[in-house]
């Protein structure tokens, strides 16, 4: 993709904040840091506006918890069109980690994530929001 250069004027304290951000996050340069900040903003906008987006839901849960796996599976069946793949890892004798790759209208994906994370026995859940760059809509 073609790259354009442009000058940016910033107050000194903002520039210092940008440089700290670059250092703390190990960005190779300011351009990469600014690029990531803009991308994050675009992703957030896409999720707010119910666009077709992609992401992943990460769940850590206790597999001994009564009925939990059945509930999690049943919820996922209601959203089978949005789920691309599910990866399951046994991370200890009783704890499981699922990574659920998703794509679809952002409101549906948020709804799915909220339902899964709210189940009793889910110790930790996180929705990672990203985007698709194509215009594909199903």
Task: Name the site residues for Ni ion (rule: CB under 5 A).
Answer: 63, 90, 96
And the tokens for 102? 């998703």
Residue 62 CB, nearest approach to Ni ion (Å): 10
Task: Tell me whether residue 63 or residue 115 sits nearer to Ni ion (CB atom).
Answer: 63
Residue 65 CB, nearest approach to Ni ion (Å): 12
Task: Characterize the bridge pairing of strands 52-62 and 83-90.
Answer: unpaired
Residue 50 CB, nearest approach to Ni ion (Å): 33
Task: Tell me whether residue 54 or residue 96 sits nearer to Ni ion (CB atom).
Answer: 96
Task: Tell me whether residue 36 or residue 87 sits nearer to Ni ion (CB atom).
Answer: 87
Residue 91 CB, nearest approach to Ni ion (Å): 8
Q: Compute CA distances 119 → 53, 65, 66, 102, 109, whole Å.
A: 24, 10, 11, 19, 16
CA–CA separation, 138 vs 109, rounded Å? 14
Task: Tell me whether residue 116 or residue 129 sits nearer to Ni ion (CB atom).
Answer: 116
Q: Which residues contact 122 (CB under 8 A, 6 or more apart)?
A: 59, 60, 61, 68, 116
């Amino acid at each position: 993709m073609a790259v354009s250069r442009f000058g940016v004027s910033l107050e000194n304290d903002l520039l210092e904040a940008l440089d700290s951000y670059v250092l703390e996050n190990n960005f190779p340069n300011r351009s990469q840091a600014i690029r990531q900040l803009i991308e994050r903003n675009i992703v957030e906008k896409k999720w707010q506006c119910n666009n077709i987006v992609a992401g992943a839901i990460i769940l850590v849960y206790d597999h001994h918890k009564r009925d939990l796996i059945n509930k999690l599976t049943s919820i996922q069946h209601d959203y089978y069109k949005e789920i691309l793949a599910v990866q399951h890892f046994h991370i200890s004798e009783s704890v499981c980690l699922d990574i659920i790759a998703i794509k679809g209208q952002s409101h549906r994906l948020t709804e799915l994530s909220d339902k899964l994370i709210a189940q009793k026995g889910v110790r930790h859940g996180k929705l990672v929001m990203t985007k698709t760059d194509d215009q594909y809509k199903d």
